[in-house]
Amino acid sequence: MAPASGEVGFRQAYAAREEHLVIGLMSGTSLDGVDATLVHIRTAQDGAVDSVRLLEHVYLPYSDELRARVNALCSPETARIDELTLVHFGLSEWYAETVRLLLEKAGLEAAGVDAISMHGQTVWHAPVPADFPGPSGRLPVKGTLQLGSSPVLRERTGIPVIADLRSRDMAAGGEGAPLAPYIDAILFGSRTEGRIVQNIGGIGNATVVPAAAKLSDLLAFDTGPGNMVIDAVVAAGTDGKLRYDPEGSIAAKGRVAGELVARLMNDPYFSRKPPKSTGREVYGADFTAAFLKDCGALGLGFEDRVATATAFTAESIAAAYRDFILPGTPIARVLVAGGGALNATLLRMIAERLPAGIAVQTTGELGVPDQAREAMAFALMGHESLMGRPSNLPAVTGARRPVVLGTITL
């Protein structure tokens, strides 16, 4: 019998190997830029993942113009279909350049890479079903939209591309998020202590990894805003000269308006039980505008506003632990990843709100760069898809069953 060709043949050849090189691309809700990781994945004889190792990591920041154009697409008031189309294709030019920089740093040709797993740029995430007309009656429909054309990326790099990884989980009844926890048990699990892996990008999400956990033991959900509100407050207070609080230095000088933090914590999202996810459509421009209006009514200066926004993020994270994690799982350590791991004031505020004996440190201290975790996770999910294996966690996303994620462009 002749060997299979096309996608089937590609997948068969991929699965037949024990070692793989996959690039993971991640651009998050903070709209800061693209993280790319070159990941070495070794599989056992049964096809299960044996090891995951980071070889290289690069970061390409968005230009101010691109950031503004993507940000405009995150709001129904400013999104335009013509701009949506251009950005969908144009973002892949940025992804292709990030891949080029990664390969140059690694001293590797494109032919040496098996696949690229591209998350894309989320501009809208709607995990709560909305009423929609169906072919034979009304239907509850939910969805998510990540921009970035996989055919463009395939043409520019010459490497097969896996994309649209969240949609299949949603089709199976899940929220399409969080997905990155799939890698946390492999990278950060411990036989002796329970851990929480807390990513703080634009949105915060927590993965609970109990001691000696299996994948089926993981719990994960979005805790709420991460850097999103802090960054917006800093940008507003500096007329765009700063886009974030460097190392939390501005917040460190301010006074926290505790009454405003307490009022913000009445947001119904925080009391909603997992599985749950959220995004810029909830904690974006409108939320920040309301926050700044409240700050003005209280007479808060710039540093106090940043301090209060930082405390709000810290409290939303700590409250999620107190309400949904600590009552059922002993935790010894919180490992922080994402841009928020660079904010020393935010880390201190989180630690102050946790019970004594829980250490807070960054994933970088364990050898995984703070901004590489999610890109590594999507590289692993792309690998599992090529192996024909599911990589969503139904207990995390709420999906009815495990499913193979993504679509491939050869």
CATH code: domain of residue 260: 3.30.420.40
Q: Do residues 327 and 393 both lie within one domain?
A: no
Q: What is the pLDDT of residue 4?
A: 64
- Half-sphere exposure of residue 169: CA atoms within 13 angstroms, side-chain side: 27
Q: Do residues 143 and 49 both lie within one domain?
A: yes
Number of structural domains found in the chain: 2
Tell me which residue range forms the domain holding 153: 6-179+372-409
Q: Quick check: is 367 in a domain?
A: no
Q: What is the pLDDT of residue 181?
A: 87
Q: Do residues 187 and 288 both lie within one domain?
A: yes
Q: Do residues 348 and 376 both lie within one domain?
A: no
Report the C-alpha gap between 14 and 37 in whole angstroms.
19
Q: Do residues 347 and 385 both lie within one domain?
A: no
Q: What is the pLDDT of residue 3?
A: 54
Cβ(127)–Cβ(142) below 8 Å = yes
Q: What is the pLDDT of residue 182?
A: 87
Q: Do residues 224 and 162 both lie within one domain?
A: no
pTM, whole model, 2 decimals? 0.87
**Interacting residues of 175 by C-beta distance below 8 A, sequence separation 6+:** 127, 142, 169, 275, 276, 277, 397, 398
Report the C-alpha gap between 233 and 283 in whole angstroms.
12
Q: Do residues 127 and 220 both lie within one domain?
A: no
- Half-sphere exposure of residue 368: CA atoms within 13 angstroms, side-chain side: 26
Last residue of a domain, one of 357, 383, 400: 357
Report the C-alpha gap between 79 and 84 in whole angstroms.
7
Q: What is the mean pLDDT of each run of 10 residues along the chain (410 residues)?
A: 72 94 94 96 92 96 96 93 98 98 98 98 94 96 96 98 97 92 90 97 95 91 96 96 96 98 98 92 93 98 98 98 97 96 97 97 92 94 96 92 96
Cβ(218)–Cβ(207) below 8 Å = yes
Q: Do residues 212 and 327 both lie within one domain?
A: yes
Report the C-alpha gap between 281 and 267 in whole angstroms.
14
Q: What is the pLDDT of residue 216?
A: 86
